[in-house]
Amino acid sequence: MLPNAARHDDMLRLFKWRIPEYYNIGVDVADRQSQSADALLTREADGRVVRTSFGDLTRLSNKLANLFAAQGLSPGDRVGVLLSQGVETAVSHIAAFKAGMISVPLFTLFGEEALEYRLASAGARILITNQANLPKIAAIRDKLPDLDVILSIDGPESGVLGFHDFLEAASDSFDPVPTKADDPALIIFTSGTTGPPKGALLPHRVLLGHLPGVEYPQNLFPKAGDRFWTPADWAWIGGLFDVLLPSLHHGVPVVASRARKFDPEDAFKFLKAMEIRNAFMPPTALKLMRQVADPARFGVTMRSIGSGGETLGTELLDWGRSTFGLTINEFYGQTECNLIVGNCSEIADVQQGSMGRAIPGHQVAIIDQNGTPLPNGEAGQIAVQRPDPVMFLRYWNNPEATEKKFIGDWLLTGDLGSRDDAGYFWYVARDDDVITTAGYRVGPGEIEDCLIQHPAVAMAAVIGVPDPIRTQAIKAFIVLVDDQTPSPSLEDELRNFVKTRLAAHEYPRFIAFRKALPMTTTGKIIRRALRDEEQQD
């Protein structure tokens, strides 16, 4: 998508969007490619590497799309995908796209409550998962009236169909639905400051909108011999649209791994063994890898590394240069409008501490509360002008939240920043209470709602506190009911209560018991007052 240019300014001048009226992500990333070429390289637990060609993706996704139709599903229906990195995950999304359906990526570490909310909110009619996740689904299935079909990639069980059994019998010939570029393709749930997560509805064009933001920070990706990997789960925008789908669009093989927990030393070994040249590495992963002694012993050779989610400091950038012989390119975006700012060390200077400059094709500005662009050097809200191919359509069944996301034609990111005279953007802070922890953006409202369901909890407030590895750790302030007393055992019980119902990355690592919480006159918790207290301690 990016023009051939040796300087950033020339690239901006030459860039033009090429968005056709009709476009289907599934057709693009599978059917359009060289069918004999490698699409996925999956490293199994026993060390075997399973190669999946683009022809395999085409054939399997056609079979699954036919299975959808055989089960009575129609274009526009929602398909839940509760799987980690793997062939079946890619095939499930591609089949949904080809069938004109809407895929709903789901994180395998979500607990019952988090899954129930997302599946019910999306009205998912079919769910594709594995045996490990079936107990969670069984516990909530009677609360999901729209869920008609469950497929398990590990075979059939009571009330569950076998994914591979059905695919084996299905036809591998399928005529894809002729979707328009603006037609809905998927729903990704994103955290907010209050209440449950919001489902960002993304259209097919959003993959084309991502391309400049992938190519730029991956040092003009793709180039001959490129091979892409990320430890980020494909259930998130960073794994799915920063790595998997853009790589397949370009015919570049993607490495898949099923590791449940990130191990920094294993990551070095994995990069070497799988001959990975390009990676999206969340800052937390890089910080953990920085603690590994003598990384040169692994003999890793990389061409590009991109990172996003928080500002990379001088120390981390210097470590990247000494370890990999390259500059780690920071980029910036969010689910609703991703990869809009970034660095490309190959054609522009990287200013340490800066998020980079606007990626070609995106109009990014610093605006005031009235939506007026501010002069360079002044702090305000980072905003993106619509229309923009990478921008979401709306929040699913939430017009009020959609309306609040915009001032006029400016999409509000919720982040405060500034821009200098050279066009570099500098992050200042969040404009709300969203917590950035280990690369995830977590809304306090969902955790608070979970905590107050515990019989010992009367009120709860959640904030992020500084953490050297995770950027922020989650801290909960708890007011107990009258007959309860604080104790270490109760703290552990509350942590597990959240961990099992929401997700492992959402539980409070720190808990403080209070007699009361700071409140407004209308009864809203003042989280900022709690953060101020933490800074003073």
Q: Return the half-sphere exposure (C-beta side, CA atoms, 13 A cut-off) of residue 366.
A: 21
Question: Is the link from the previous residue into 488 a cis peptide, with omega within 30 of 0?
Answer: no
* Pair of tokens at residue 85: 């990195």
In the chain, list all ranges with CATH 3.40.50.12780.
Answer: 23-419
Rounded distance, CA 341 to CA 350, Å? 12
Return the SS3 of 31: helix
- Rounded to whole angstroms, how far apart are CA atoms 500 and 505? 11
Give the H or E element holding residue 43.
Answer: strand 38-43
Q: What is the pLDDT of residue 45?
A: 82
pLDDT at res. 390: 98
pLDDT at site 259 = 72
Range(s) of the chain covered by CATH 3.30.300.30: 435-536
Q: What is the pLDDT of residue 507?
A: 94
Amino acid at 185: A
Among 345, 81, 353, residue whose Cα is nearest residue 234 = 81
**Starting at the edge strand that comes first in sequence, how are the strands of the sheet with 78-81 ordered?**
161-162, 149-152, 126-129, 78-81, 102-105, 184-190, 198-203, 394-395
The CATH H-level (homologous superfamily) assignment of domain 435-536 is ANL, C-terminal domain (3.30.300.30)
What is d(CA 53, CA 377) in angstroms, rounded to the nearest whole number? 50
Under 8 Å between Cβ of 62 and 174: yes
pLDDT in tens, 122-140: 999 999 999 999 999 999 9
Separation CA 275–CA 269 (nearest Å): 10
How far apart CA 28 and CA 93 sit, in angstroms, is 12
Angle at 309 between CA 304 and CA 310, to 5 degrees: 100
**Phi then psi dihedrals of residue 352, to 5 deg:** -60, 130
Residues in the chain: 537
Return phi, psi of residue 130, to 5°.
-130, 175
Report how far Cα 460 is from the mean position of its chain's Cα atoms: 27
Provide the 8-state DSSP code for 7: S
Q: How far is CA 468 from the centre of its chain?
A: 22
Q: Provide CB contacts within 8 A for 508, sequence distance 6+.
A: 447, 451, 462, 474, 475, 476, 494, 495, 498
What are the structure tokens assigned to 59, written together? 């054939």
Q: How far apart are CA 435 and CA 439, in angstroms?
A: 10
Q: What is the dihedral of CA 286, 290, 295, 296, to 10 degrees?
A: 90
Question: How would you classify residue 15: left for phi > 0, otherwise alpha for psi between -120 and 50, otherwise beta?
Answer: beta
**Cis bond upstream, residue 222 (ω within 30):** yes
pLDDT value for 193: 54
Q: Hey, is 342 helix, strand or coil?
A: strand
pLDDT for residue 194: 58
Measured CA distances, 414 to 118, 196, 209, 428, 434 (Å):
23, 17, 21, 11, 9
DSSP 209: H
The first and second tokens of residue 56, run together, are: 């395999």
Radius of gyration for the alpha carbons in the chain, expressed in angstroms and rounded: 23
Going by DSSP bridges, is the β-strand pair 126-129/149-152 parallel, antiparallel, or unpaired? parallel
Instruction: Provide the b/e sequence for 74-92 (b: ≥16 CB within 10 Å).
Output: eeebbbbbbbbbbbbbbbb
To 5 degrees, how large is the angle CA 101–CA 104–CA 239? 120
Structure tokens at 67: 């299975």
Q: Give the residues of the chain that fall short of pLDDT 50.
A: none
- Residues of the chain above pLDDT 90, percent: 80
* Domain 23-419 in this protein, CATH class: alpha beta
pLDDT at 195: 64
* 378 touches 402 (CB < 8 A): no
Q: Which two tokens stand for residue 159?
A: 């009330």
